[in-house]
Amino acid sequence: MLIQVDAKALEWAVCVYLAQDKVGMEELTYQNYDMHSENMKLFGFPIRHIAKIFVFRLIYGGSAFSYAHDPDFMDVSSNPKFWQDAIDTFYEKYSGVASWHDSLLEEIPQTGVYRLPTGREYGFGMVENKYNGDIAWPRTCMLNYPVQGLAAQLMELGRISAYRRLAHKPGVLFINTVHDSIVLDVVNDQLLIKEVCDILQQCLVDIPKNFEAVYKVPLNVPFRGEVEVGMNWGRME
């Protein structure tokens, strides 16, 4: 049986942590809170899926122009003003994220470097826009790299924890890891499957305490996992 655990809202949790956004941090503590459904209503979107994609693209530098000209969003509106209003509403609600984005765009050009709480550093330089030839700092990269970089390091902790707890068990084989997920192949034994699922979920819950143990820095947002089981990827439940 395949078992796959995904880190729930990984990039959003990382963004909220780096920004220390109070609203986002509070929402993450509510286990059954559906931020995307709430934001769907707040932003005036027709479906939850649009609200979800909107938020994740925005924290990586999405602009009103890009939303208005993206086929995935044009059915909602092709008017940049509509999307700018949604962006403004987002930043008004998550003011900590707004302040953090502003600080990244202001501070990185001063040194060309961003340093994560773990000590990992990213270097940036001015680049040429392939469409108009303008030279500028890469806004989307400056917003994207810190979140993706720390997310990768957190999943490293989750994978190591899972491997230490499960690799010795007969009938458990580590198959793959893709960004925010870990995939195992487990013999079809219901007791073993239940045990592995519980351990995988706990490995993600334990990320904050393991992060602090390794990097000596508090990680004050919760992490959770969503586990699926099935005979193949097409039949996961």
148-187: pLDDT as tens digits: 999 999 999 999 999 999 999 999 999 988 889 999 999 9
Task: List Cβ neighbours of 105 (8 Å cut-off, separation of 6 or more).
Answer: 137, 139, 142, 143
> For residue 165, what pLDDT is reported?
95
Count of domains for the chain:
1
Structural domain includes residue 39: yes
Structural domain includes residue 76: yes
> For residue 34, what pLDDT is reported?
87
Structural domain includes residue 63: yes
Sign of the four-CA dihedral 84, 87, 93, 99 = negative
> For residue 179, what pLDDT is reported?
85
Single-letter amino acid code for the residue at 118 = T
Structural domain includes residue 40: yes
In the numeric block, the tokens 């305490």 are attached to 209
**Cα angle for residues 222, 226, 232 (degrees, 5° grid):** 155
> For residue 110, what pLDDT is reported?
95
> For residue 24, what pLDDT is reported?
95
Tally the C-alpha atoms within 13 A of residue 177's C-alpha that lie toward its C-beta. Answer: 16
Structural domain includes residue 31: yes
In the numeric block, the tokens 């990213």 are attached to 122
Residue by residue, pLDDT tens for the chain (237 residues) are 999 999 988 999 999 999 999 999 999 998 778 888 988 998 889 999 899 999 999 999 999 999 999 998 988 999 999 999 999 999 999 999 999 999 999 999 999 999 999 999 999 999 987 777 889 999 999 999 999 999 999 999 999 999 999 999 999 999 988 889 999 999 999 999 999 999 999 999 999 999 999 999 999 999 999 999 999 888 999
Cα–Cα distance measured from residue 89 to residue 76, given in angstroms and rounded to the nearest whole number: 17
Structural domain includes residue 120: no
Structural domain includes residue 75: yes
2-13 pLDDT per residue, tens: 999 999 889 999
> For residue 35, what pLDDT is reported?
87
Cα–Cα distance measured from residue 107 to residue 48, given in angstroms and rounded to the nearest whole number: 34
Structural domain includes residue 163: no
> For residue 168, what pLDDT is reported?
92
> For residue 178, what pLDDT is reported?
85
> For residue 30, what pLDDT is reported?
87
Sign of the four-CA dihedral 69, 75, 81, 85 = negative
Domain of residue 40 covers: 22-93
